[in-house]
Amino acid sequence: MAAENGQISSDGKQSFFLSDSHDQMGSLKETLWKYLSHWPLFVLFLALCGLLAWIYLRYQAPEYEIHATMIVKTQSNTILGSDASTSGQQSPFAGLMFPNENINLDDEIALMKSEFFLKRLVTRLHLNEQYVRKDRFRDTRLFDSLPFHIQVMHIADSNKTYRFQIRFADATHFFINQDSRPYPFNSLIFCGGSVFQIGRNAFAENPSQSDIPYEYSWVPVREEADALSKDLNIIQKNTSSSVLDFTYRTPYPGAGEQILNALMEEYIQYSVEEKSQIAQHTYAFVTQRIQMLEQGLGAMESNLQQFRKENQLLDLDQQSTQYLSSMGTLQEGLQKIEIQLQLLNMLENDIRSHLHQYNLAPTNLGIEDMTLTALIAQYNQLALRRQNELQQTTPNNPVIRRLEASLDDLQSAMLQNLQTLKHSYTLTRDQLMSQLQAIQNTALQLPAKEDELNNIRQEQLIKNALYTYLLQKREEIGIQLASIAPDGKVFSAATAGKFPVAPRKRNVAMLALFFALVLPVGIIYLKDLLNDKIVTRADVRRHCGITIIGEIGHSRGNEPLVVVPDSRDVIAEQFRILRANLMRELSAIPHTPLIMVTSSFAGEGKSFLSSNLASAFALRGQRVLLMEFDLRKPKLMERLQMPVKMGIADVLKGKAQLSAAIQQVQQVEQLFVISAGSLPPNPAELILSPQMPALINDIRKQFDLVVMDTPPVSFVSDALILGEYADLTLLLVRQRYTLCRQVEMLHELYQQKRFIRPFIVVNDVKWSGYQGYYGYGNGYDVYRYGYYAEKSARRSLWSRK
C-alpha cells in the first residue's frame, strides 16, 4: 500500500510528519491563520466599535478653533519723556512715571493666561454664569438670545457651585427643578443659601419648545478661569517677532470669538492702567499743592495791600538802585534756595504723613539732588510692585513683608537725605542772608518799613515762582497721561474656523478600526496564553521527548471499529499509516510482539485506539488478540457491542480456560478479544500473581500479535506492571484534551525507563484551521486531493474547518 511506505526521516525511521524547518518557515502563515480563523469575532468587534464611534460622533459636540493675532510693543511708547524746564533734555523723573523697560513676551503671555487676569475676563463677560439648554442628544450652552436672565442677589459661598433647572410653564410662569408648582417671573430663587432672581426675556411662544428644560449654573470665578485657561493657547509667532497668536477651542464659535476679542481688549486696558498709576498719583499730589498755594497767595496779596495802605509806602527804587543791584543777585540766590527748601519741606511732610502706608511718593517736582531723585524712583517702583503683588496674594505673604521692609528702609533713607539737604540749603541761605543783611545795614537811610515791605515781596515772589512751577508740571503730567499708548494692538480680530477640529471623523474611524483589530487579537492571544492543553505537534515535542509515531484524526461516527474490510475513510487510512510505522519497529522482535496501549488520563481514547489498531493488523492476515486489561472500569466489550463472558480475571484466578475466554470479533475475521472478566477486588495483586507469565506465554503461542488495553498510568499501577511484558508501548495523547503537565508526567516516566520502547500516538487530531495540529493553517487537508471524495463530498464546508 502506498500509504504504508511513508516518509523516511533522517534517522532512518519512517515518518509521515512535516519537518521542523517547514514549521518554522510557516510561522507567519500560522499566526495569520490563527487570527483569520476567528473572523466572526473580528466582524463582531468591528460592528461594535463602529456603533460606539457613531454614538460618540452623534452625541459629542463639535469643537471649533478660534484664531486671533495681536502685536505687543516691546519698548516704552510714551510721547513725552522730557522736562520742559531742561530745554529738551531728558527729565530724571520721566523714567519714574513711565518706566522705559523692555517688555518680555513670555511674561506677557504668562500674564494673559494667569488666574488673576482670566478672572478679570470672566467677571467682565459673566462667564461663570452658565445657561444650558437640555436638548435630546446633547446639552447646548447659551450665550446670546437667552429666554430668561438670572440676577445674582447674594452668593453665600463664592467657592461653591450653584445649579438649578428651569422649565417654562407659560408666558409668565416657570417651574424650578422638580417642583410642580409654577412660580411667576421676577421671583426669588433660594439655592444653598444663595439668592437669585429670574426675569423673562423676549421669548416667542412655541409649543414645541415650551417644555425644553434649561439649566442655570453659577460657578466660582476661579474654576471658570481654570477651565478657560485649559482651552486657551497663546504663542509667539516666531522668535524675532512681537506678534502673538491666540487659539481658543470651544463648541461655540460665536462665543469663542467674543471671548478672544474681549481678552485682547482687557490686556490693552490693563497695560494702560498699569502704566498710568504713578503719573495719576503725581498729578493728584501736584493739584493738591497748587490749591494750597492759591489760598496762600490770595492771603498774601491782601496783606500786602493792607501794609501799603497803612504805612503809605512809595516806590523808592530810584533811591536804592545801587543797593538793589547787589541785593537782587543775593535775593535771586535766596529765592532758589527757598524754593528748594519749600519743596523739601513739602516732600518731607508728605512722606511723614504717609509713613508705613507705602503710598507712591510725588515726583518731577524739580528737586535738583540726584541721590534723592534716585531714592524716590526706587521707592515708587517697590511701592508699585507691592500693589501688584497684593492683587494676587495676602498682606501676610513673605514677599509683601520683604517689600514693606525695603520700603521702610527707603523711607528712612529719604528722610535722612532730606534732613541733610535741608541742612545744606539752610547753611547756604544763612550765608546769603548775612551778605544781604550787611548790604541792608549800609542803607540805614531807608525806612524800616521799606525793609519789611521787601520781605513781604520776597515771600510773595517765592510762592509765585513755586505756584508757576507747579502749574507747569501739572500741565506736563496731564499731557503725558493723555499720551499714554497701550502696549498691545489688535492685528487680526478673532475668527472661527469653518470646519470643526474635533471630533475628527477620520481619526475616530481609525481609532474604532484600531480597537476593532486590537481587542480580538488580545482576546485570542490571552486565550492561547491561558491554554494548558496539548494543541499542536510542537506542544507534544516541547513537553515530552518521546517519539511521535502516529496521529489519528477525529472520528465523527459512532462505529467502534472504523478499520474494517474495504474501509477507505480518513481514520482507517491513518490507522494503516500507524500500522506501517509500527511494523518497522516490530520487525526486530523474534517472538510474538505484545503492544501495550495506555495514557496519562482517562477519556483519551485508549479502547478506540486499541481495537482499531488490532483490527488494522488483523486485516493483514495476522491472528491478533485484543486484551482488555482495564480490570477496574472495563468498557471495551461494551464499545464492541459484544457480550461479557469469562475474561482475564477469571483465567488468572483459575476459574476459566483461556480458550473459553477468547471471543472472535464478527467484523474482522482474524481479530479476537478477551474481556476483563469478573472485576476483582485487587487488580494489581492479580496481575502480579504467578499465573500472569504463563498466561502471556500461552497467548504468544496462539497469536501473531497481542494488543493490551490498559488503565491510565496516572491513577493506578496496572499499566506500569503490565509494561514488563510489553515489547512496545503506545502512550496515547488526545489533542485539546490532554493537559501539558500530564504529557510531562509521561516524559518523567520515560526518563525513569518505566516503559519499554515507548512511542506517542496523538488521538482526536484536528488537522487544520484554528488550533490545528500542525499549526494554524499548516496542516495537510486529506480531502483536498479528492482521494476520499465519496465520503467527504457529503460534508459541508463548515465541517471541514
- The model's pLDDT over 727-749, given as tens digits with 9 standing for 90+, comes to 999 999 988 888 888 888 888 88
Res 1: pLDDT? 36
Flag whether pLDDT at 778 surpasses 50: no
And the C-alpha cell for 90?
A: 531728558
Highest mean pLDDT among 178-187, 275-284, 534-543, 556-565: 178-187
Cα dihedral 6→12→18→19 (10° resolution): -160
Across 47-65, average pLDDT? 86
Those residues with Cβ within 8 angstroms of residue 415's Cβ, 6 or more apart along the chain or in another chain: 348, 351, 352
Enter the DSSP assignment of 86: G
Res 268: pLDDT? 87
Across 604-626, average pLDDT? 90
User: What mean pLDDT, rounded, does the chain reach?
Assistant: 79
**Helix (H) and strand (E) counts in the chain:** 25, 21
Flag whether pLDDT at 522 surpasses 60: yes
- The model's pLDDT over 351-405, given as tens digits with 9 standing for 90+, comes to 888 777 777 878 767 777 788 888 888 888 888 888 888 888 888 888 888 888 8
**Burial status of residue 470 (CB atoms within 10 A of its CB: 0-12, 13-18, 19 or more):** buried
- The model's pLDDT over 128-143, given as tens digits with 9 standing for 90+, comes to 999 988 877 778 888 8
Flag whether pLDDT at 488 surpasses 90: no
Residue 791's pLDDT band (cuts 50, 70, 90): very low
Residue 226's pLDDT band (cuts 50, 70, 90): very high
Q: Quick one: which of 697, 750, 699, 694 has its CA closest to 720?
A: 750
Strands 214-218 and 129-134: antiparallel
Res 209: pLDDT? 52
Percentage of the residues of the chain whose pLDDT score is greater than 70: 83
Residue 10's pLDDT band (cuts 50, 70, 90): very low
- The model's pLDDT over 676-698, given as tens digits with 9 standing for 90+, comes to 888 888 888 888 888 999 899 99
d(CA 730, CA 578): 11
Highest mean pLDDT among 228-237, 566-575, 768-777: 228-237
Those residues with Cβ within 8 angstroms of residue 333's Cβ, 6 or more apart along the chain or in another chain: 428, 432
- The model's pLDDT over 426-477, given as tens digits with 9 standing for 90+, comes to 888 888 888 777 776 665 555 666 667 777 778 778 888 888 888 888 888 7
Flag whether pLDDT at 118 surpasses 60: yes
- The model's pLDDT over 699-717, given as tens digits with 9 standing for 90+, comes to 999 999 999 998 888 778 8
Res 489: pLDDT? 82
Across 285-314, average pLDDT? 75
Flag whether pLDDT at 85 surpasses 80: no
The residues facing 548 across adjacent strands are 760
- The model's pLDDT over 621-638, given as tens digits with 9 standing for 90+, comes to 899 999 988 888 888 888
d(CA 36, CA 41): 9
Res 417: pLDDT? 86
Flag whether pLDDT at 206 surpasses 60: no
Flag whether pLDDT at 419 surpasses 90: no
Res 797: pLDDT? 35
d(CA 440, CA 324): 10
Residue 799's pLDDT band (cuts 50, 70, 90): very low
User: Is the Cα torsion angle 112, 113, 117, 121 positive or negative in sign?
Assistant: positive
Contact 323, 514 (CB under 8 A): no
Residue by residue, DSSP assigns 366-435 as: ----HHHHHHHHHHHHHHHHHHHHHTTS-TTSHHHHHHHHHHHHHHHHHHHHHHHHHHHHHHHHHHHHHH
Res 327: pLDDT? 74
Res 405: pLDDT? 84
Flag whether pLDDT at 780 surpasses 50: no
Across 474-488, average pLDDT? 76
Res 272: pLDDT? 81
Res 76: pLDDT? 54
Residue 162's pLDDT band (cuts 50, 70, 90): very high
And the C-alpha cell for 134?
A: 437640555
Highest mean pLDDT among 21-30, 72-81, 316-325, 393-402: 393-402
pTM: 0.47
Residue 208's pLDDT band (cuts 50, 70, 90): very low
d(CA 756, CA 729): 6
Across 3-18, average pLDDT? 39
- The model's pLDDT over 546-570, given as tens digits with 9 standing for 90+, comes to 888 988 888 777 787 888 888 878 8
Weakest mean pLDDT among 251-265, 371-385, 434-448, 523-537: 434-448
Res 70: pLDDT? 92
Res 46: pLDDT? 92
Residue by residue, DSSP assigns 184-205 as: ETT-EEEETTEEEEEEE-----
Those residues with Cβ within 8 angstroms of residue 356's Cβ, 6 or more apart along the chain or in another chain: 408, 411
Highest mean pLDDT among 33-47, 145-159, 274-288: 145-159
Percentage of the residues of the chain whose pLDDT score is greater than 90: 17
